[in-house]
Amino acid sequence: MTNRSVTKTKEQVIETGLFVVAFMTVVFLMLILGFLLTRAWPAVQEVGLREFLTGTRWMPSSRTPGYGAFTMIYGSLMVATGALVVSIPWGLAVAIYISELAPAKVREVLKPTVETLAIFPSVVIGFIGLVVLAPWVARTFGLSHGLTAFTGVIMLSIMALPTIVSIAEDAIASVPQEFKEASYALGANKMETILFVILPAARSGVTAAIMLGFGRAIGETMTLLMVAGNALSMPTTRVLGLPLPNFFGSVRTLTATIAIEGLDVPWGSLHYSSLFVIGGILFTFTFAVNLVAEMVMHRKEV
Amino acid sequence: MESKQPVMSSRHISLWYDKTRALTDITMDIPEKQVTAIIGPSGCGKSTFLKTLNRMTDLNPAVKMGGFINFLDKPLQQYDVVELRRRVGMVFQKPNPFPKSIYDNITFGLRLQGVKKKSDLDAVVESSLRRAALWDEVKDRLKQSAMGLSGGQQQRLCIARALAVNPEVVLMDEPCSALDPVATAKIEDLILQLKQEYTIVIVTHNMQQAARISDGTAFFLSSQLVEYDTTVKMFENPGDQRTEDYITGRFG
């Protein structure tokens, strides 16, 4: 064998090896998905998907069991949406400041700082929420305890912030200089250029940042388990006759339900299977959100 | 070169990017409703000089400037920069339409000024596109994205966008350098049309282009203005040996 063909064989082996490793990720994804679906199937068959999605009575281990997961869907959507209401304007403001307004030195400090927020383990953030924010919420708003959706929203918005800032900042920073020059040359000032040229040009990246922030928020478990109270209820209030979510009530999320009940559920029971249905609902949310984000990011710019 | 009243006159303009000198003591007049070409090799300061004329150089914090430029009756620094840039429009080297519809590109400057009435905007869109010789090609797709136009069409759109705010002077920074010969010929025809109504200053590295379309030509070299005269004189009988060497292609 010549040297050259040895090299060639070697390359072949390495290439095949890398292919196998890469392909494994697809296999694992399929395995997890398959596992989720087969475990969820008995409950879907027995109870029906309709009860899971619309029912509000969740008592899977009762003598007269209820499998309505709508309460948790409500809780999850409520805190995730609430968190985005806080973190979208906040995150966009930070992203705009970092990429367009901050002096170089401030930017060099601010950007890694925001990204560092993402590396705190969620249990630490949850613990801080539990011992610092929750008592403050209880005192300030005169509640019996501070473990509320509001507390969850605040902690979650901080956790979604780095995702939104870093992706939106990338999108804003990649708006070509030529667009900005054209805008200034037409007599626009800095704020007009940001609002009417830069943000519209970066809108697909900004949308993706928001979607991924939502994915981050809806999938978060530990923090909400610790600070949102975990009550199986759908707190509502009426404002001018309209029923609205009451953020000062306790809620339980889809994720927290799996974490709480998954530990001591009898294996193979209908309850066990129904937790996989919850997992499936959660997966559908995050998958849809990521899919939309992906499509928006890769869509051809208008 | 005092054939017409100058619209802009630069007096002893020097400019530095940090410590690097980009312009040295530039004194020249820009006559009204003529095409003034600025030629010279890369890095000679011609684009920088153009950008001083609508204070785009203000955007770069590293820029320091000496001397002054008069626009009509007063120095540039005494104008509100927004008003100045409306009256002194600019077209860039690379066509840079916004990723918006053709209509929204043209109306951008007007909307900044607070014009909201649809009939007013519609009228300006049509007249600007007509003046930029683009109306017939795009009149049926005004609401479509400007990014779908060809490079030459995009550049004419950028010219139309600059004309939409009714400027007195139009600055063009190598407007044809990214275009093919056919698109270039169209822009050159357009420039000859536009000088009936506007004062035009064009930076070009293409000497044939300067010869074809300009009335006056300034030759920049190493941050200095070497020679400035009528285009005919510059190309047929230049006064400076360096101008002759550049124009005959001995360097550049």
Summarize pLDDT for B123-139 with one digit per residue, the tens: 999 999 998 989 999 99
ipTM of predicted assembly, 2 dp = 0.89
**In which band, very low, low, confident or very high, does the pLDDT at A88 lie, cut at 50, 70 and 90?**
very high
CB-based contacts of A298, cutoff 8 Å, min separation 6: none
Question: What CA–CA distance (Å, rounded) separates A245 from A253?
Answer: 14
Q: Is residue B9 part of a domain?
A: no
SS3 call for B37: strand
Q: Chain B window 209-238: which residues touch A at a Cβ cutoff of 8 Å?
A: none
What is the residue range of B159's domain? 29-247
Tokens of B149: 């136009």
A184 touches chain B (CB under 8 A): yes
β partners of residue B91: B172
DSSP three-state, residue B130: helix
Q: How remote is the C-alpha of A268 from its chain's centroid?
A: 30
Mutate to test the interface with B, among A100, A186, A191, A198 (most CBs of B within 10 A): A186
Rounded to the nearest angstrom, the minimum Cα separation between A301 and chain B is 7
Rounded to the nearest 5°, which phi and psi values hold at A140? -65, -40
CA B175, CA B186: separation in Å to the nearest integer?
A: 12
| CB spacing of A185 vs B98 below 8 angstroms | no
A207: tokens are: 């949308």
CA distance B244 to chain A (A): 34
Assigned domain for B174 exists: yes
Strands B35-39 and B199-203: parallel
Contact B181, B170 (CB under 8 A): no
The C-alpha atoms of residue A43 and residue A34 are separated, in whole angstroms, by 15
Helices (H) and strands (E) in chain B, counts: 10, 10
What's the number of domains chain B is made of? 1
The pLDDT assigned to B119 comes to 94
Q: What is the rounded average pLDDT of the residues A4-13?
A: 86
Residue B3's pLDDT is what?
53
Average pLDDT over residues A205-215: 92
Q: Is B19 among the domain residues?
A: no
Q: Which residues contact A274 (CB under 8 A, 6 or more apart)?
A: A40, A43, A47, A52, A60, A67, A69
Q: How far is B55 from chain A (nearest CA, A)?
A: 9
- Asked if the model's pLDDT at residue A225 lies above 90, the reply is yes
- If 0-12 CB within 10 Å is exposed, 13-18 middle and 19+ buried, where does residue A94 land? buried
Quote the tokens at residue B20: 């690097």
Strands (E), chain B: 6-17, 20-31, 35-39, 63-71, 74-75, 88-91, 169-173, 199-203, 216-221, 224-230
Q: State the first-to-last Cα distance of chain A, in angstroms, to the nearest integer.
A: 56
The answer to the question of residue B21 being in a domain is no
For residues A182 and A162, give the distance between their C-alpha atoms in angstroms, rounded to a whole number: 31
By the 10 Å C-beta count (0-12 exposed, 13-18 middle, 19+ buried), B117 is classed as exposed
CB B46 within 8 A of CB B36: no
Residue B8 to residues A83, A182, B221: CA-CA distances in angstroms? 55, 22, 21
Among A24-28, A116-120, A223-227, B123-127, the minimum mean pLDDT is found in A116-120
Is residue B15 included in any domain, yes or no? no
Does A182 contact B85 at a Cβ distance shorter than 8 Å? no
> What is the pLDDT, as a whole number, of residue A296?
82
Radius of gyration (C-alpha) of chain B in whole angstroms = 18
Q: What is the pLDDT of residue B252?
A: 58
- What are the CA-CA distances from residue B220 to residues A268, B49, B227 (Å)? 85, 10, 7
User: A192 and chain B: CB distance < 8 Å anywhere?
Assistant: yes
> What is the mean pLDDT of the segment spanning A43-51?
92
Three-class SS of residue A165?
Answer: helix
Q: What is the CATH number of the domain that holds B144?
A: 3.40.50.300
Query: If pLDDT is split at 50, 70 and 90, which confidence band does A160 have?
Result: very high
pLDDT in tens, A99-109: 999 998 999 99
Among the partner residues B54, B83, B99, nearest to A185 by beta-carbon distance: B54
- Is the pLDDT at A97 greater than 50? The verdict is yes
Mean pLDDT of A163-183: 94
- Say what the pLDDT of residue A168 is: 95
Residue A141 CA neighbour count, 13 Å, CB half: 18
Q: For testing the chain A interface, which of B48, B55, B108 should be mutated: the one with the most A CBs within 10 Å?
A: B108
Q: Is A176 part of the contact surface with chain B (CB cutoff 8 Å)?
A: yes
Contact: B98, A181; criterion CB under 8 Å: no
Q: Which tokens sit at B148?
A: 């779908």
Asked if B98 reaches chain A (Cβ–Cβ under 8 Å), the answer is yes
Q: Contact A187/B100, CB-based, under 8 Å?
A: no
Q: How confident is the model at residue A138 (pLDDT cuts 50, 70, 90)?
A: very high
First-to-final CA distance of chain B: 25
In whole angstroms, what is the distance from residue A65 CA to residue A7 CA?
Answer: 65
**Residue of A179, A181, A186 lying closest to B109 (CB–CB):** A186
Contacts for B152 with CB less than 8 Å, ≥ 6 apart = B179, B180, B182, B183, B184, B186, B187
Q: Tell whether the model's pLDDT for residue A126 goes beyond 90.
A: yes
CATH T-level assignment (fold) for domain A72-298: MetI-like fold (1.10.3720)
Retrieve residue A37's tokens.
Answer: 């679906």
Per-domain boundaries in chain A: 3-47, 72-298
Is there a contact between A181 and B109 if contact means CB atoms under 8 Å apart?
A: no
pLDDT above 50: residue A302: no
Q: Is B55 on the interface with A (CB under 8 A)?
A: no
DSSP H or E run through B88:
strand B88-91
> Cβ contact (<8 Å) for B113 and A187?
yes
- Residues of chain B found within 8 Å of residue A181, distances taken between Cβ atoms: 56, 59, 92, 96
Q: What is the amino acid identity at position B133?
A: A
Give pLDDT < 50 ranges for chain B. 1-2
B30 touches chain A (CB under 8 A): no
* All residues at 6 or more sequence positions from B14 whose CB lies less than 8 Å from its CB, including other chains: B21, B23, B24, B25, B26, B65, B66, B67
Q: Is B186 on the interface with A (CB under 8 A)?
A: no
Cα separation, A273 vs A269, in Å, equals 6
Subunit contact B85:A302, Cβ cutoff 8 A: no
**B199 within domain boundaries:** yes
Q: Does residue A265 sit in helix, strand or coil?
A: coil
Task: Quote the CA–CA distance of B16 and B52 in Å, as a whole number.
Answer: 12
Task: Provide φ and ψ at B75, rounded to 5°.
Answer: -65, 150
